[in-house]
Amino acid sequence: MENLSRVDIFLQVVKQNSFSAAARYLNMSAPAVSKQVQALEHQLGVKLLNRTTRQLTLTEEGALYADRAKRAMDDLREAERQILDLKSCPTGLLRVNAPLSFGIQYLTEPIAAFAKQYPDVVVEVNFDDRFVDVIAEGYDVVVRIGTLKDSSLVARKLADCPILLCASEQYLSKHPSIKSPQDLTDHNNIVYSKHGNRAEWQYIDKNNKINKVNLNRSFAANNAEAMLAACLQGLGVAQLPIFAAKPYLTCGELVTIFSDYKTHPEPGIYVLYPQNRYLSARVRLFIDWLFTCIDEFKLDI
């Protein structure tokens, strides 16, 4: 353990770039810090630091040792935290963010059940359609629906989330039949206005080719609930996520159009979390909990 203490002291000197600053941080005297670093150098048989009255720099051997030693110490601390987690029940604050409509419809009960199962975890839930900054805003877990861009976050796919072209029987009975995607240009269309979405429908046709058609926008909304309400009122054709449309497709209030085509790109439902090598027990258990709930989502028709 004495050697580990010396390594910790050396790494703190490197981090602070100063013996005196490291000594203050470690609540030691500067001579004692210097003595421990010298003892480490003697043990290794190499010089780790170049010291002058004005500057402190790593030698080539010192830079190599500092890099490897930091990773080793991080591994030891991670192992210690994991062992402590295994010995105790999960505790602490768990901050979760998810899209508004999907969250209310599918996540409220699973999250409440998780909170009941782990009463020492303080769950804080925020449902909205804004793309939150996971790191800056301090979220532990974020659920997102879409096609993900490259990110420093870890992403695990919960389920597919097809976007369906839907209309009410009321609307279809009063307007010309829709036989091809191009016919949509002559119809009222309900479009999603969030994140700069254009009034268009991109789709993969029967020949597996990507096409698009520009739409006549008659109603726009930044959430699925408002789009669904407009569609049910017969205001036009809407591109609805399956989780919003499914109950109304099942009972016949809505019908799908071009069910043999796929909207492109087809989004998924993802769980995102910061790319830490160590996940706290509460975060790990919550993510596992969401995956046990996938079958309850029943996102198919």
| Cα separations in angstroms, 89 against 94, 215, 237, 274, 282 | 14, 54, 50, 22, 9
Q: How do the domains of the chain map onto residue ranges?
A: 2-87, 92-160+267-297, 163-263
Matching CATH number, 163-263, of 3.30.565.10, 3.10.105.10, 3.30.43.10, 3.40.190.290:
3.40.190.290
Q: Beta-strand (E) ranges in the chain?
A: 49-51, 56-58, 92-98, 121-127, 141-146, 154-160, 163-168, 189-192, 200-204, 210-214, 217-221, 237-241, 254-256, 262-263, 268-273
Q: How far apart are CA 190 and CA 104, in angstroms?
A: 22
Backbone angles phi, psi at 212, to 5 degrees: -150, 155
Phi-psi region of 92 (alpha: psi -120 to 50; beta: other; left: phi over 0): left
Which two three-digit tokens encode residue 134? Answer: 């996971």
Model-level pTM greater than 0.75? no
Q: How far apart are the first and last CA of the chain?
A: 61
pLDDT tens, per residue, the chain with 301 residues: 345 589 999 999 999 999 999 999 999 999 999 999 999 999 999 999 998 877 899 999 999 999 999 988 888 887 777 676 655 678 889 999 999 889 998 999 999 999 999 999 999 999 988 888 898 899 999 999 988 776 788 999 999 999 999 999 999 999 999 999 999 999 999 998 876 567 899 999 888 899 999 998 899 998 888 999 999 999 999 999 998 999 999 999 999 999 888 888 888 999 999 887 667 889 989 999 999 988 776 676 6
Q: Which of 144, 147, 239 is nearest to 192 (CA)?
A: 239
Q: What is the CA radius of gyration of the chain?
A: 28
Is the domain 2-87 a CATH 3.40.640.10 member? Answer: no
By the 8 A CB rule, do 19 and 30 touch? yes
Q: How many whole angstroms from its chain centre is CA 198?
A: 24
19: its two tokens: 């013996």
Contacts of 227 (CB under 8 A, 6+ apart): 190, 191, 192, 219, 221, 238, 239, 240, 244
Q: Could you tell me if 121 and 91 are in contact, meaning their C-beta atoms sit under 8 angstroms apart?
A: yes
63 closest CA partner among 14, 19, 20, 17: 14
Asked if domains 2-87 and 163-263 share a fold, the reply is no
Decide: helix, strand or coil at residue 237. strand
- Decide: helix, strand or coil at residue 59: coil
Q: How far apart are the C-alpha atoms of 226 and 230, rounded to whole Å?
A: 6
92-160+267-297 belongs to CATH 3.40.190.10: yes
d(CA 8, CA 108): 45
